[in-house]
Amino acid sequence: MIIAISVTLFFIVLRFVVTLFNFMSNPKLQRIAKPYDDMVSILIPARNEQQNIDNLLRSITEQDYRDYEVIVLDDGSTDETYNICARYAAAHTNFKVIKGKTLPDGWLGKNYACYQLAQQAKGKYLMFVDADEEVERGLINSAVHRMHLRQVALLSLFTNQRMFTLGEKLVVPLMHFLLLNLLPLRLVYLTRHYAVAAASGQFMFFNAEAYHANQWHKQVRNEVVEDIEIMKLVKAARYRGESLLANGLIYCRMYTGFNEAINGFSKNFLAIFNYSVPGFLVYITLLIGGPLLVISTLNLPLIVFMAGLIMLTRIMISLAAGQNALLNVLLHPLQMASMVIIAFFAIQQHLTKNTVWKGRRV
């Protein structure tokens, strides 16, 4: 009992220290006003995104950056996605929409779409974004500045999340929660070892020369979580990579409800733990079972100490991610329950190889 409680408290303190480091080091993309004129190719894979893509394309036209092209690849959509993009292409000379080719064996849909997009791009930088996002003025200029400053081959941003339903608020904050209390984000750039890697496919900004030389989406053609795998490849090839928080420069509404969010998170949650089911189970046990064990002791000072660290951790992560800190503290028990549900489905799908997303088996 004493050993289990000691391990739990060590685990909580360690996560608090990692969170504190992330909060103090402030790993955000800084807003830069200095103008740049490097050509940027904005590349958008889209599959049945008629509800979202108009917002993204409109937000791009409102950017304060001028030297860019936009290429949308319609990946077999059965809705109005292609027609919406075609109207934009007709009204803006630097917009183009193309039809994706038939998915070859051994490829996953998004990876093949990104590979095709890169072949069409002319920019010095390749900016991959998802169709359900919106960009703010200053994003491209700030990203280009960061590429010049850091001389990295890949800059990835963890976007600010928009959440409207209770179901979303019970699940989506877990992304930043896991990220910021498991990994000191600054180490992605500071440490050259490829094992220290994090990235988000919602924003991948490549040096085009390095990308074309390595064809990173082709190398990860069958990877479900291609973003982290690409960052590993970037670092393994002795390039620099960096991952940062978006700092309000790009927003995404990942899911529209609880079931969709659970399904979406389940398909790639295990990747954070390198697909180790035992490692994932140990983490979940310590994360949820540990605090319950401490509570069962009825030792008030110990419970207050533990609860204080957990609350401070949630507050720091919420502030860094641009989320409602009070709401995340209040919803923490329900979010942890959501974590258990995600863990169940993630392990089930991993063991049965039965993951389906947007109508395709992945």
Q: How many CB atoms lie within 10 A of CB 233?
A: 20
Is 48's pLDDT higher than 60?
Answer: yes
Residue 359 lies inside a defined structural domain of this protein: no
Sign (positive/negative) of CA torsion 79, 83, 86, 91?
negative
Q: Measure the CA–CA gap between 292 and 285, rounded to whole angstroms.
A: 10
**Is residue 94 domain-shared with residue 240, that is, in the same domain?**
yes
Question: Model confidence at 43, in pLDDT bands (50, 70, 90)?
Answer: very high
> pLDDT digits over 149-180, tens only?
999 999 999 999 999 999 999 999 999 999 99
Rounded to whole angstroms, the Cα distance separating 251 from 129 reads: 11
For residues 214 and 195, the model is more confident at 214
* Residue pair 220/226 in contact by the 8 Å Cβ criterion: yes
Q: Which domain holds residue 14?
A: 2-25+259-351
Domain presence at residue 362: no
Cβ atoms of 96 and 71 closer than 8 Å: yes
pLDDT over threshold 80, residue 356: no
Residue 32 located in a structural domain? no
Average pLDDT on 234-248 reads 96
Average per-residue pLDDT in the chain?
92
Number of domains into which the chain is organized: 2
- Asked if 20 and 140 sit in the same domain, the reply is no
Percent of the chain scoring above 70 in pLDDT: 97
3-state secondary structure of 254: coil
Indicate whether 14 belongs to any domain. yes
At residue 352, the pLDDT reads 78
Nearest CA-CA partner of 232 in 244, 220, 221, 224: 220
Residue 358 covered by a domain: no
Q: Looking at residue 355, what is its pLDDT?
A: 57
Within this chain, do residues 149 and 228 fall inside the same structural domain, yes or no?
A: yes
Region for 127 from its dihedrals, namely left if φ exceeds 0, alpha if ψ lies in -120 to 50, beta otherwise = beta
Per residue in 77-91, pLDDT (tens digit) is 999 999 999 999 999
Q: Is 360 part of any domain?
A: no
Q: Is the pLDDT of residue 240 over 90?
A: yes
Measured CA to CA, the distance from residue 172 to residue 264 in angstroms comes to 10
CATH of residue 146? 3.90.550.10
